[in-house]
Amino acid sequence: MKKSIFKASFEESLNLLDDGSLQFAKKDYYEHLGKGLNNGRPSIGFRIKSIIFTILFVFGGNFMLAVFAFSLNDADPKDLSIPIFKPQLLTPEFFLIASFIWLILVVIGKIFRKPFIRPYRYRFHIVTFLIWFCIEFNLLGITVALPTLKPLSIYFIYFLLLIIGLLFIRTEKRSLYNCLFGEKSGDTILDRVARNIALYGSGLLGIAVIIKVVLSYSGIAISQNLTLLGLLLTWIVLNVVSLAMLAFMELPFFLEGYYKWKYPEEYREWEGKSLEEWYGKKYLKRHKELLKNG
C-alpha cells in the first residue's frame, strides 16, 4: 500500500533536506524575516519589526485595497475608464471580519510557544495574511469583471483555477513522496503541465506589465476592451502564481514543521540542540520529565 507523505519515519523525514523547493523557501525566509529568531526565540528587534510589519502590511495593505474598492464604488461612473459592478463585493464588513479572524489565528498560535516550532508559526501568520490579501484582490477583480463577463464566465475561471491548484498540489505531493521514500518515477503529462504553468506564469505576468507600462508612456490610446483584457489576464495570472507559491513552497515548508512536531526529540538530537534551546525554559518548567530523560 502506498504510504502517505504524513506517515514517514524520522529517518525518512530527513530526506526533505534534499528538496530544492524547501531549501529555497527556508533560505529566503531565514535571510529576511527569520533573522531575529535566535534559536526560535524572537529578539526585541524582531518583535518591533513584526509589529511594524503587521501595521503596515497586514492591516495597512489590506485596508488600502479595501479603501480603493470603496472609492471605486463611490465614484461617478463617468469618471471611471471601465465599468464597475455595484454594490461592491469588498465591503467594510468583510475587512473587519477578516481582521478579526486573522487576529484570532494569531492568538491561537500563541499555544505553540516552543522555540523549534516558532519559525513555522510566524510563517503561518504570513501565509494567512497573503491568503486574506488574495481574497480581497479577487473580490476586487470580480467587481471589475462582472460588468463585462457573465457570472457563468466567472464560475468557469474559478473552476479552471481550482483544477490548476489541484494539479500543483498533485505534482508537489508526488515530488515530496519521491523525496521522502526514495521512489523515482517519471513525470506525467499533468506534472509537466503544472510545472510549466508555475514556471512561465510569472514570466507572462512580467511581460504583460512591461507592455502595459510601455503603452502607457508611448501616448498610444488603449481601448477599453484591451484594458479589461489586460486586467483580466493580470487577475488570472496572479492567482496562478499564488497557487504555485502555496503548493511548491509552503507545502514542503510546513511538512518539515509537521515532522519536527511529530519527532521533537529525534530532531533535537539530530540538530544538536539543548533541551532549553529546543523547548524553552517555560515549557521545561511544566514538563520536568524531559529534564530527567535528557
pLDDT in tens, 13-35: 999 988 887 887 777 777 665 55
Banded pLDDT at 124 (limits 50, 70, 90)? very high
Half-sphere exposure of 240 (CA within 13 A, CB side): 24
Q: How far apart are CA 49 and CA 123, in angstroms?
A: 14
- In this structure, are residues 18 and 196 in contact, taking their beta carbons and an 8 Å threshold? no
Q: How far apart are CA 107 and CA 65, in angstroms?
A: 25
CA end-to-end span of the chain: 37
For residue 139, pLDDT over 80 is answered with yes
For residue 131, pLDDT over 60 is answered with yes
The DSSP symbol for 42 reads: E
Grid coordinates in use for 115? Answer: 522555540
User: What is the three-class DSSP state of 91?
Assistant: coil
Q: How far apart are CA 14 and CA 274, in angstroms?
A: 19
* Residue 135 identity (one-letter amino acid): I
Which residue, chain included where needed, has cell 518548567? 285
For residue 223, pLDDT over 70 is answered with no
Mean pLDDT computed over 123-136: 93
Highest-confidence segment of 21-25, 124-128, 178-182, 212-216: 124-128
Q: How far is residue 189 from each of residues 5, 173, 198, measured CA to CA in Å?
A: 22, 15, 14
- 81-122, pLDDT tens digit by residue? 667 777 788 888 899 999 999 999 999 998 888 888 888 998
- In this structure, are residues 188 and 196 in contact, taking their beta carbons and an 8 Å threshold? no
Residue in 108, 102, 97 with CA at minimum distance from that of residue 130: 102
Q: What share of the chain is helix, strand, coil (3-state, %, to 5)?
A: 75, 0, 20
Range scoring the smallest mean pLDDT among 118-122, 132-136, 149-153? 149-153
Report the chain's mean pLDDT, rounded to a whole number. 79
Range scoring the smallest mean pLDDT among 4-18, 90-104, 152-166? 152-166
Residue in 119, 148, 127 with CA at minimum distance from that of residue 232: 148
Grid coordinates in use for 200? Answer: 512561465
Task: Give the E-state strand segments of 92-237 in sequence order.
Answer: none
For residue 258, pLDDT over 90 is answered with yes
Residues listed for the chain: 294
- In this structure, are residues 252 and 107 in contact, taking their beta carbons and an 8 Å threshold? no
The DSSP symbol for 213 reads: H
Mean pLDDT computed over 113-132: 90
Nearest 10 degrees: CA dihedral of 93, 237, 61, 52? 130
Banded pLDDT at 56 (limits 50, 70, 90)? confident
Q: How far apart are CA 24 and CA 7, in angstroms?
A: 24
